[in-house]
C-alpha cells in the first residue's frame, strides 16, 4: 500500500513539474544562488509540497514576489553541541531558524555524559517538534576519561540500538585518537559499527604516519585544525576540513587562506559551541558567512560551505541546493556581501520572517528528562582541605584560553587546614560528583579569578558536568552547591550567605527551557554579579566549565582529584 501511495505522489509531482497542474507555491523574481555552478541567475522557483519542482513560468496556489532578492539553500551547521547554547532545542530553533539555519548536525556529547542514551534521544525527539532538522552523530567518547565520574558510559553495543536510525548520520568526533593509534578494541568496535555512515574526527596537531593511521579506519573530517599547515596536510590526505568559528574556538582567521576555488568543496563551516550571548549578538551560520565574505572569500563559495558542502559530506541527499527534486529549505536576503536573512522557508512553508519564527502547528508529545542532580548530603567538612604540606599544586588560568598552567606554591594554612589566600588570588576549588550520589569531592586551589569575597558555581563542567565551585570561603561555596542542587542544576553567584544571581538549567543541568533572550540576560546578570565580587575574568563561568576537563593541559580537577594532564594521571594536591 505504501509503495502505491508513493507512486501516486511521484506521478502528481511529475504532472506539476510539467506544468499540467498547479504548484503549491511560486517564488517570483528571485536571484538564485546556484551552489552547483557557482553562478547567480534570475528565476521564478516553483515548490510543490516540500520539494522544489522547477524554475520558470508556473501556475501556483500561492505567489510570493521577492522583487530581486537573493535565494539560497537553508544553512547547515555541520558540527555543533547544541547544549552549549544553554537553551532547549525548541528555543535554539526559535533563535537560529530566522537566521537561515534549517539543519544542524548535533553531537550530543555533553548531555550524553549526563544522561547517556536517554539524553541522545531527548535531543533527537525535541528536534522533531521544531522547524529545524536535527541530525545526530553518536558521541564516541562517553566518558572522555576514567579520571572523572560521568552520568553514563556508552559502549559499542549501546550504539547498535541507534545507529540504524535515519536521523543518526554516524559516529561523532573521535576524541580518543591515542586509542585509535593503539588499536583500543572498544573504540575500534564503535568505528566498525558506524563504517557505513560518516565518522567525524577530532585530532588536534596530528600529522605524519599517525594521521595516516587515524584516517585509514574511515575517519573523514576534522574540526580541530589550528594552523594552516595542519589543515593542508589533512586536506591533502582526504579529510573534509571543518572551519570552526564558535564561542570558545575561533579558527576562521587562520584557516580561511586554505580555501581556494579548486578545493573549497572539501571545506565547510561549523560552530562547534555557540553560547547564548554570541547567538543573540552575532548570529549563527549567517554570521560565519558574513565574516568569511568580509575577509575576502567569494560569497558563493561561502554559501556553498554552509549548504551544499555539509549536505554532501553527511550524505544528506536532496538537501543543500535550490534545484528540482531538492527539499525546499530556503533563505532569502537582500545582498550577498552582507547576508541578513529576511525570510526562511522550511520544506516549502514560510516559517520565519523579519527575524521572527512564525507559529507552526507542530504536533507531538514533548520529551522529558529525569532530575540529573543527585549528590550525597553535603556539609562544610567535606569542603575542608587538610594540609599535608606547605606546598600545593595550583591551577593557574591562562587568559582567554581553556588551557591552564601548573604551578607549585606555598598555601595559607590555619589550624592544619589549607585556606584560600585572597591577597595572592589563590582560591579554593571543588568538584562535587552529581550523577550517582557517590560522595566524591575533588578539592584544590586555583589562581586567576580574582574574587575578593563569595563564590561562583556551575553544573556545566566539561565533559562529565559535575558541580564545580570556586570561592574565597567554605560557607559561600557550600551555599552555592546546595542552591545548585535545589534548582536542579545551573550557574550562580553567592556571597555572605546569599545568592546574588542565578540561572537555573534544569535540562540535565546544562540547558534552560526559557527563551534565548532571557537566558542571555541571565548570563549578563551572572557576569555583573561576579564582577562585584572582584572577578576580573571576562567570562568566569566559561573558564570554570573547562577546569574539570582532564584532557586539556596542564592541570585540571575532577571529582576524583587533581589531574596532571601531561602525565595523564591523578596526582596529590600537596607536594
pLDDT at 144 over 90: no
Grid cell 572582584 is found at: 534
Is 349 domain-assigned? no
Is 339 domain-assigned? no
Pair (410, 313) in one structural domain = no
Is 343 domain-assigned? no
At residue 145, the pLDDT reads: 87
Pair (187, 310) in one structural domain = yes
Pair (277, 412) in one structural domain = no
Pair (273, 411) in one structural domain = no
Q: Which helix (H) or strand (E) holds 494?
A: strand 490-495
At residue 361, the pLDDT reads: 59
pLDDT at 160 over 80: yes
At residue 402, the pLDDT reads: 84
Pair (190, 305) in one structural domain = yes
pLDDT at 362 over 80: no
Pair (272, 407) in one structural domain = no
The arithmetic mean of pLDDT across residues 92-102, rounded, is 97
Burial of 112 (0-12, 13-18, 19+ CB in 10 A): buried
The arithmetic mean of pLDDT across residues 463-477, rounded, is 97
Task: Give the end of a domain, one of 273, 290, 318.
Answer: 318
Q: Which helix (H) or strand (E) holds 449?
A: none
pLDDT at 443 over 70: yes
At residue 403, the pLDDT reads: 86
Nearest CA-CA partner of 526 in 502, 498, 542, 495: 502
Task: Output the nine-digit C-alpha cell for 329.
Answer: 529549505
Pair (295, 431) in one structural domain = no
Radius of gyration of the chain (CA): 25
Q: What is the CATH number of the domain that holds 192?
A: 3.20.20.140
What are the DSSP calls for 140-209, one per residue?
A: S-SSS-SSS--S----HHHHTTTTTSTTEEEEEEE--HHHHHTT-HHHHHHHHHTTTSEEEE--TT--HH
Pair (302, 385) in one structural domain = no
Q: How many domains does the structure of the chain reveal?
A: 2
Phi, psi of 257 (to 5 degrees): -60, -15
At residue 400, the pLDDT reads: 79
The arithmetic mean of pLDDT across residues 19-29, rounded, is 95
The arithmetic mean of pLDDT across residues 368-382, rounded, is 94
CA quadruple 28, 31, 34, 35: dihedral, nearest 10? -110
Is 233 domain-assigned? yes
| Cα–Cα distance measured from residue 9 to residue 2, given in angstroms and rounded to the nearest whole number | 11
The arithmetic mean of pLDDT across residues 21-27, rounded, is 96
Pair (544, 452) in one structural domain = yes
Is 184 domain-assigned? yes
Task: Output the nine-digit C-alpha cell for 69.
Answer: 532578492
Pair (271, 390) in one structural domain = no
pLDDT at 87 over 70: yes
Q: Say which residues have a Cβ less than 8 Å from residue 427's Cβ, sequence separation at least 6.
A: 420, 445, 446, 447, 449, 451, 470, 471, 472
Specify whether the CB–CB gap between 470 and 554 falls below 8 A.
Answer: no
Q: Over the stretch 296-346, which tens digit does the pLDDT of each residue have?
A: 999 999 999 999 999 999 999 999 999 999 999 999 999 999 999 999 999
> At 4, is the secondary structure helix, strand, or coil?
helix
Q: Over the stretch 100-123, which tens digit does the pLDDT of each residue have?
A: 999 999 999 999 999 999 999 999
Is 328 domain-assigned? no
Pair (406, 503) in one structural domain = yes
pLDDT at 4 over 80: no
Q: Over the stretch 258-310, which tens digit does the pLDDT of each residue have?
A: 999 999 999 999 999 999 999 999 999 999 999 999 999 999 999 999 999 99
The arithmetic mean of pLDDT across residues 523-533, rounded, is 97
The arithmetic mean of pLDDT across residues 237-257, rounded, is 95
Is 363 domain-assigned? no
Instruction: Share the mean pLDDT of the chain.
Output: 95
Q: Over the stretch 536-546, which tens digit does the pLDDT of each residue have?
A: 999 999 999 99
Which pLDDT band holds residue 363 (cuts at 50, 70, 90)? low
At residue 493, the pLDDT reads: 98
pLDDT at 562 over 80: yes
Q: Where are the beta strands (DSSP E) in 381-434?
A: 385-386, 391-397, 404-410, 412-414, 417-419, 426-432
At residue 158, the pLDDT reads: 95
Task: Give the end of a domain, one of 300, 318, 336.
Answer: 318
Range of the domain at 86: 74-318
The arithmetic mean of pLDDT across residues 354-364, rounded, is 80
Pair (447, 555) in one structural domain = yes
Task: Give the end of a domain, one of 298, 318, 338.
Answer: 318
Amino acid at each position: 500500500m505504501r509503495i502505491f501511495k508513493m507512486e501516486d505522489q511521484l506521478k502528481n509531482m511529475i504532472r506539476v513539474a510539467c506544468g499540467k497542474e498547479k504548484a503549491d507555491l511560486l517564488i517570483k523574481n528571485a536571484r538564485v544562488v546556484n551552489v552547483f555552478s557557482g553562478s547567480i541567475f534570475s528565476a521564478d522557483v516553483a515548490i510543490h509540497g516540500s520539494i522544489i519542482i522547477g524554475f520558470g513560468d508556473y501556475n501556483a496556489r500561492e505567489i510570493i514576489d521577492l522583487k530581486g532578492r537573493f535565494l539560497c539553500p537553508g544553512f547547515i551547521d555541520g558540527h555543533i553541541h547544541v547544549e552549549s547554547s544553554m537553551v532547549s532545542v525548541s528555543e535554539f530553533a526559535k533563535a537560529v531558524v530566522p537566521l537561515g539555519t534549517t539543519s544542524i548536525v548535533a553531537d550530543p556529547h555533553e548531555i550524553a555524559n549526563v544522561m547517556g542514551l536517554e539524553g541522545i534521544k531527548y535531543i533527537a525527539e525535541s528536534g522533531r517538534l521544531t522547524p529545524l532538522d536535527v541530525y545526530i552523530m553518536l558521541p564516541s567518547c562517553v566518558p572522555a576519561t576514567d579520571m572523572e565520574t560521568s552520568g553514563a558510559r556508552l559502549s559499542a553495543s549501546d550504539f547498535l540500538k541507534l545507529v540504524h536510525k535515519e536521523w543518526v548520520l554516524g559516529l561523532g568526533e573521535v576524541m580518543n585518537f591515542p586509542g585509535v593509534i593503539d588499536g583500543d578494541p572498544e573504540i575500534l568496535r564503535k568505528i566498525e559499527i558506524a563504517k557505513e555512515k560518516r565518522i567525524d574526527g577530532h585530532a588536534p596537531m596530528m600529522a605524519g604516519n599517525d594521521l595516516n593511521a587515524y584516517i585509514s579506519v574511515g575517519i573523514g573530517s576534522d574540526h580541530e585544525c589550528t594552523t594552516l599547515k595542519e589543515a593542508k596536510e589533512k586536506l591533502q590526505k582526504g579529510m573534509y576540513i571543518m572551519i570552526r568559528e564558535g564561542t570558545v574556538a575561533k579558527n576562521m582567521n587562520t584557516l580561511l587562506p586554505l580555501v581556494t576555488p579548486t578545493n573549497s568543496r572539501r571545506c565547510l563551516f561549523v560552530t562547534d559551541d555557540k553560547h547564548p550571548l554570541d547567538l543573540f549578538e552575532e548570529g549563527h551560520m549567517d554570521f560565519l558567512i558574513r565574516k568569511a565574505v568580509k575577509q575576502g572569500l567569494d560569497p558563493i563559495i561561502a554559501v556553498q560551505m554552509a549548504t551544499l558542502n555539509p549536505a554532501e559530506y553527511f550524505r544528506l541527499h536532496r538537501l543543500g541546493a535550490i534545484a528540482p527534486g531538492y527539499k525546499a529549505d530556503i533563505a532569502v536576503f537582500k545582498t550577498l556581501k552582507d547576508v541578513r536573512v529576511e525570510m526562511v522557508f522550511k520544506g516549502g512553508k514560510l516559517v520565519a520572517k523579519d527575524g521572527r519564527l512564525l507559529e507552526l502547528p507542530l504536533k507531538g508529545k514533548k520529551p522529558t528528562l529525569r532530575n540529573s542532580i543527585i549528590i550525597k548530603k553535603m556539609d562544610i567538612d567535606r569542603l575542608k582541605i587538610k594540609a599535608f604540606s606547605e606546598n600545593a599544586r595550583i591551577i593557574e588560568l591562562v587568559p582567554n584560553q581553556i588551557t591552564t598552567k601548573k604551578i607549585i606554591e606555598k598555601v595559607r594554612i590555619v589550624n592544619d587546614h589549607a585556606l584560600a589566600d585572597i591577597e595572592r588570588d589563590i582560591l579554593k576549588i571543588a568538584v562535587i560528583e552529581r550523577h550517582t550520589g557517590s560522595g566524591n569531592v575533588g578539592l584544590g586551589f586555583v589562581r586567576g579569578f580574582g574574587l575578593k569575597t563569595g563564590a561562583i558555581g556551575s553544573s556545566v563542567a566539561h565533559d562529565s558536568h559535575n558541580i564545580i565551585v570556586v570561592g574565597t570561603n567554605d560557607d559561600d561555596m557550600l551555599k552555592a552547591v546546595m542552591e545548585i542542587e535545589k534548582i536542579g542544576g545551573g550557574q550562580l553567584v553567592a556571597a555572605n550567605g546569599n545568592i546574588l544571581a542565578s540561572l537555573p538549567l534544569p535540562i540535565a543541568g546544562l540547558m534552560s527551557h526559557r527563551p534565548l533572550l532571557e537566558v542571555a540576560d541571565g548570563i549578563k546578570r551572572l557576569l555583573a554579579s561576579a564582577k562585584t565580587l572582584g572577578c576580573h575574568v571576562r567570562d568566569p563561568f566559561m573558564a570554570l566549565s573547562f577546569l574539570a576537563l582532564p584532557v586539556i593541559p596542564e592541570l585540571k580537577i575532577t571529582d576524583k582529584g587533581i589531574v596532571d594532564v601531561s602525565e595523564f594521571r591523578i596526582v596529590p594536591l600537596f607536594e
